[in-house]
């Protein structure tokens, strides 16, 4: 039986597009969640946005969806047919990944000790460095666990334990986004490559459970009890408060047609870990490119990020290219284990992180955490396996006494 991605970049982009671009507008226009923390500040910014700016916001936003899907469809001019998905044969490398899991568990113990002051503290003990280390570690755990799952072999217990423990520790520190990424990666696997694919009822049940968990953790960070209205606020506050950056941008700035993407270009420097060398002095922030731009809660709406970097016309072209590249990655994932893991990892960040983190975070994820670092580990492992095989082979040919 032929199988294809049930959940892919098309669906995940659409979710993030509706969630992050239309929810803030609806909440602002209807004055929803009045009296909840932060909403008075948000409504104050929303009321200051000129009406003509809101019209421009809507027109640009509505243009992005067809641009993305036209980019996706344009890839079919090069490759007209998609291939059926299949797991890949196990190899000495995929089996040796278990040792990577053991090594990562050791790193987890070190990070847990270093982050002990932030554990079980939520936002009350927020430590960006500690959460950053733990988040990166979870991404690496996810990559290698998925690498084994796609190889038709039983995954290493070290990787399974590592993913679960790192996710729980990250939740205890107030971090939901990377745990949600883990949840989505597993969901995509279970609806595409898994020998026993999940049915629609199971998918809906798991998504609902994810909503409850995400809401519960948000309410726990607020030190309040569970309620359906509070759960909805905890969920929708994410795109609303991310939109602070867009609202302040629309209040004080004209929207350019095209722009030199200085923030986009310099953000590639952040791919190099800060522990090796820091390029922060050379990074051009979005705030430095415009007037009175604020993101008081740390998240940058992708709407303002794209428009500030490329202008409204340039952003449409960039979205078109993004749709094309994601379809290319999906095509590569049909015939390569590594690219399948990479594509699913990218899909994991698409509905949430893509829409609320700046280029300096997204690029580090895409090109270092998902690509260069795992590829380097795999190259080292393959080299060691090759050397071991070629070293022991001549010894086996020696006469036995």
Higher pLDDT, 260 or 220: 260
Per-position DSSP letters for 56-92, written without gaps between them: HHHHHHHHHHHHHHHHHHHGGGT---PPPP------H
396 lies in a domain?
no
Contact 192, 85 (CB under 8 A): yes
What is the predicted pLDDT for the residue at 296?
Answer: 76
CA–CA distances in Å: residue 112 to residues 108, 143, 173, 261, 385: 6, 20, 11, 38, 31
Element (H, E) at 289: none
Residues of the domain holding 33: 9-386
Q: Is the pTM of this model over 0.85?
A: yes
181 lies in a domain?
yes
What is the predicted pLDDT for the residue at 401?
Answer: 47
274 pLDDT more than 90: no
Count Cα neighbours of 373 within 13 Å in the Cβ-side half-sphere. 19
Reduced DSSP (H G I as helix, E B as strand, rest coil) percent helix, strand, coil of the chain, to 5: 70, 0, 30
2 lies in a domain?
no
Burial 332-368 (b: 16+ CB within 10 A, else e): ebbeebbbbbbbbbbbbbbbbbbbbbbbbbbbbbbeb
Residues 332-344 have a mean pLDDT of: 95
CA–CA distances in Å: residue 131 to residues 119, 166, 184, 239, 350: 10, 11, 20, 21, 20
Q: What angle do CA 334, 368, 152 make, to 5 degrees?
A: 35
What is the predicted pLDDT for the residue at 204?
Answer: 81
E strands within 218-369? Answer: none
| CA–CA separation, 188 and 85 (whole Å) | 12
Express each pLDDT in 62-100 by its tens digit: 999 999 999 999 998 888 888 888 889 999 999 999 999
Total tally of structural domains belonging to the chain: 1
Express each pLDDT in 192-229 by its tens digit: 998 888 877 778 887 777 777 766 666 666 566 666 67
387 pLDDT more than 90: no
Residues 252-258 have a mean pLDDT of: 93
276 lies in a domain?
yes
254 pLDDT more than 90: yes
CB within 8 Å of 69: residues ≥ 6 apart: 10, 323
234 lies in a domain?
yes
235 lies in a domain?
yes
| CA–CA separation, 197 and 203 (whole Å) | 10
197 lies in a domain?
yes
């Amino acid at each position: 039986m032929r199988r294809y991605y049930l959940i892919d970049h098309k669906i995940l982009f659409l979710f993030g597009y509706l969630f992050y671009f239309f929810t803030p507008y609806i909440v602002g226009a209807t004055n929803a969640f009045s009296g909840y923390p932060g909403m008075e500040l948000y409504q104050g910014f929303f009321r200051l946005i000129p009406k003509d700016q809101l019209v421009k916001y809507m027109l640009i936003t509505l243009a992005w969806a067809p641009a993305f899907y036209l980019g996706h469809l344009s890839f079919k001019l090069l490759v007209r047919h998609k291939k059926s998905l299949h797991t890949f044969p196990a190899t000495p490398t995929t089996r040796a990944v278990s040792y990577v899991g053991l090594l990562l568990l050791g790193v987890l113990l070190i990070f847990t000790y270093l982050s002990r002051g932030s554990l079980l503290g939520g936002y009350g003990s927020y430590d960006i460095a500690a959460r950053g280390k733990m988040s990166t570690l979870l991404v690496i755990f996810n990559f290698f666990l998925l690498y084994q799952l796609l190889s038709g072999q039983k995954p290493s217990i070290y990787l399974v334990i590592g993913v679960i423990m790192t996710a729980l520790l990250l939740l205890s520190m107030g971090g939901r986004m990377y745990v949600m990424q883990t949840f989505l990666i597993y969901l995509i696997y279970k609806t595409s490559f898994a020998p026993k694919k999940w049915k629609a009822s199971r998918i809906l049940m798991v998504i609902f459970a994810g909503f409850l968990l995400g809401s519960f953790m948000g309410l726990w960070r607020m030190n309040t009890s569970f309620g359906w209205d509070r759960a909805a606020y905890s969920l929708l506050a994410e795109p609303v408060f991310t939109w602070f950056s867009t609202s302040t941008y629309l209040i004080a700035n004209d929207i350019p047609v095209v722009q030199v993407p200085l923030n986009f270009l310099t953000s590639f420097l952040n791919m190099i870990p800060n522990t090796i060398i820091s390029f922060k002095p050379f990074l051009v922030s979005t705030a430095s490119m415009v007037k009175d731009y604020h993101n008081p809660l740390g998240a940058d709406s992708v709407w303002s990020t794209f428009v500030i970097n490329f202008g409204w016309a340039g952003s449409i072209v960039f979205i078109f290219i993004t749709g094309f590249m994601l379809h290319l990655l999906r095509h590569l994932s049909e015939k390569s284990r590594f690219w399948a893991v990479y594509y699913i990892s990218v899909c994991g960040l698409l509905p949430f992180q893509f829409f609320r983190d700046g280029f300096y975070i997204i690029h580090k994820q895409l090109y270092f955490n998902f690509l260069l670092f795992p590829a380097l580990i795999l190259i080292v492992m393959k080299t060691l396996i090759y050397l071991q095989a070629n070293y022991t082979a001549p010894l086996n040919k020696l006469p036995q006494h």
